[in-house]
Amino acid sequence: MPLVRIDLSSALLPRAAAVSDAVHQAMVDTFNVPPDDRFQTVTPRPAGELVCTPAFLGVRHGEQVVFVQITCAPGRSLDMKKALYARIAADVARQAAIDPADVVINLVETARENWSFGNGLAQYAL
């Protein structure tokens, strides 16, 4: 169900597939997302298209930031959300050699009936 929008510096383009894989696997492992439920946009952005504060809340950001915005169903617990954030940052860092400080994540929750996965059907509507 999730639709994931990954925006990252163009300099990271050779590592974009690794970022995409790491984000998806983190969702499978911590967020009850089925392995074959994968829908992502991955957007490399030249300087000027990705604007990020140099530091916020004590976290410093460099030139190679990654924004991960995930539209998903509601109802996950705070513990699950914390596990997801931790796992995405750790695995993007490890698998794509990106500073975990530079991984910014946002969830947008929307009802299960708000999805169609093809053929014009509302597969998740009760």
Write out the catalytic residue numbers.
2
User: Residue 44 CB: number of other CB atoms within 10 A?
Assistant: 16
Q: How many residues bind a copy of itself (CB under 8 A)?
A: 65
Separation between Cα atoms, residue 62 and residue 73, nearest integer Å: 31
Residues 53-112 that bind a copy of itself (CB under 8 A): 53-57, 59, 61, 67, 69, 71, 78, 81-82, 85-90, 100-111
Provide the sign of the torsion angle of the four alpha carbons 85, 87, 92, 97, taken in this order.
positive
CB of 79 to a copy of itself, least distance (A): 10
Amino acid found at 126: L
Phi, psi of 97, rounded to the nearest 5 degrees: 55, 50
Residues at the contact surface with a copy of itself, assessed by CB under 8 A: 3, 7, 16-17, 20, 24, 34, 36-45, 48-57, 59, 61, 67, 69, 71, 78, 81-82, 85-90, 100-111, 113-123, 125
